[in-house]
Structure 1
Amino acid sequence: MLSINDAVARIKENIPAHTIEKIRVNDSLGRYLAEDITAPEASPRYTSSAMDGFGLRFDAGLGEGTAFEIIGESAAGSSFAGEVLPGQAVRINTGAMIPKGVDTVVRMENTREENGKVILSKLPKKGQDIRHAGEEFAAGKVILSQKTKLSATHLALLNAVGIEEIAVYKPCTVSILVTGSELVSSGESIAPDQIRDSNMIMLAAAITEAGGVVVETRRVPDNEKQTRKAIDTSKGGIVICTGGISVGRHDHVRASAKESGFDEIFWRIKQKPGKPLFFARRGGQLLFGLPGNPVSAFMCFIHYIKPLIGAVHGLPFGWPVVSAKAVAPIQNNGKRPTMVRVCLDWQDAEGYSITGAEKQGSHMLTSVTGSNGYIILEPEEEIKAGESTTVYRYDSGRDSISLSDFR
């Protein structure tokens, strides 16, 4: 059996090449940038007012009660075309362009109007309430870096500077083949010797969360011919099978994959849960055979497949990790390295702490719904109370994870 590290190394050796495509910014939410984005123009584009008020030319002799002739208005989208001379002022709105000759904006609440003039009731500071062109960034500055996962605010920024199309990494496509004659869908009538399939919905959601695209889902009975047909005709760049991967008479995934032209890269890992993990390749198509137990399937996905999907999108192959102190001892009494599910908690004064999840069975979904990360312990290894250890998080959790937080 392979070690966990050796299995990761073999997966990394088989990461598919990146594919880049051009798409509209409006369609890019959740995608990963394939290049740096430089600003085609400065921001702000022009010098404008930060407040509603009056634009005027500052003079050292100004004082409370000084009056200025109002000669016009500069509104957002309709700027004042003339020049403002000493002793003159223009009404100005927030966001409106600063006219020629204006170097200060006096807020509306600090003035009063009489007979076509504006009178200062509070002395302004020279240059106040003016947003200068380019003060946020100049044209040519990198405003978004390659490998950024695009969010709502990123899309707003791209639109604000007039970018309509961008280069992104093409997301990997994934097929899900759930094997097991005992499985039924939620909502179907269920016999005493059947169970409801939770792997399909779990993996489809996890793939989507990771940025992949599920292109097909199939439930396959424990039948050799049907298993081979499902694998042989699978469409995804990554094929994920659950169940049928051990050594029983009804386990057909490994043999069917080989018969369908997949070359085995490894089978079985020295770990718990997820020992019978299978990995194979057929040209540019990768196949994973996960155990049928939902917790084993989830842990194998999180540790091996999720970082692979990220790598296809240009990210480093790795996991979001934090250091945390154990509240109580956590021990692996087994004979294999174990992915122990833990509850990760944040204390403002202490930082992260962990406790072992109460349930650890590979068939118990509450062991993952009741935890938010895991640690890997060698056989007989113990983390003592107060001792720090590395915690692999299921996701980025309460705060953001930068690329430097991956390992």
Structure 2
Amino acid sequence: MSIVLFWLMALALFAVASAFGKRLGLIPIVSQLLLAALMLPLLMLLWVQPHWQLDGAQLIAPSWLKTLYGCSFALLLGHILADVAHLRLDPQALKLALPSFAVPFACGLACALWLLELSGVSALAMGLVFAITAIPVLYLYLRAIDYPPAASQRLLQAAIVIDLACWLLLGMGQGSLQPSSLALPALAALTPLVLRGLGLRAPRLYGLVFLLLLFATEHYRLNALIFGVGYLACLRVLGLQLRLPLPEASNRRLQQGLAVPLILTYGVVQIDLQRAFAGFDVSQLLALLVLPILSKLLGNWLGLSWATASFAGASKWRESLLLNIRGLSEIVFLNLLLTQQLISPALYFALMLMSLIATLMPAFAGLHRIPQTSLTPPRRPHAEL
């Protein structure tokens, strides 16, 4: 009963935080990140563990919770992968994306190998964490500040290229550990062939099947990334469309009210603050908070210098900050790495703090004061989170 009460309390706290943040002008993911990074660990340390005698392992043990987590994870990962599937490549966006991905990826790889002494897929994952950009949160920022449409499209396309590279490389890296684990997800990715052979072409049906199979691959510890990318690639080859089943408004409420809070809490409660940083020294912690941001800003600046200006008076500093936004994409990425034991709880928590700082930087840098130079808000890449 105490476990159920904890999860109900956590969801209620996220709802209160989102409502309070909205009054302060914060988008929901920022309020949720603040609560997850600053309040939940203290709640665990000061109340849940000493008074309820519950630790992280007990809180995530119930089978019903694992099922609910799997549904939430499939919903969010499905939307992120569906976003990157809508890529329409612009050469200028590619010029921007290449340094924005390569510089932080190289920095993260070096940090993993020499500072944290990681190797193999764990080192690869660290490089990708340094490089990733949050497509949905970037979209929300651009819409909130009424950014010029052409410039918004280019930034979103660059973010899509970066995220596509991150998800593909992680999937390939995981598959290299267990090649046999690729067979079932790869076969499942061919499901659109079967559905089309049966004469079924409804886009929402393909979206529903996509989410159900994503849940199944995550539940049975198969490679969800290989399945997701393969499924969407199969649809592209067949010329079929995918629409996720829920209406946009219902989907947004479900993600903000349940899926995002549950995924954040699921990761945070596994962190034992009293022992989390036992193996970390100050230099390592500072490196994990500073190096991803600095390397990403440098890569963004180089990419913006290589590409032509998106509009007259465009600020490289402003656009570098916007492309440094992490948010939900990185949290989903980190949860995937944590559940597959590619990173430790201490690394998870440090990188989540980094993600929070990077996501808040555009707001603290005064981007809300940008003059309204655009005529219409940017088109969404797929779904608003």
In the superposition, the TM-score normalised over structure 2's length comes to 0.25
Higher normalized contact order (CA 8 Å, seq sep 6+, divided by chain length): 2
- In our comparison, the structure showing a higher alpha carbon Rg is 1
Structure with greater proportional helix content: 2
Structure with greater proportional strand content: 1
In the superposition, the TM-score normalised over structure 1's length comes to 0.24
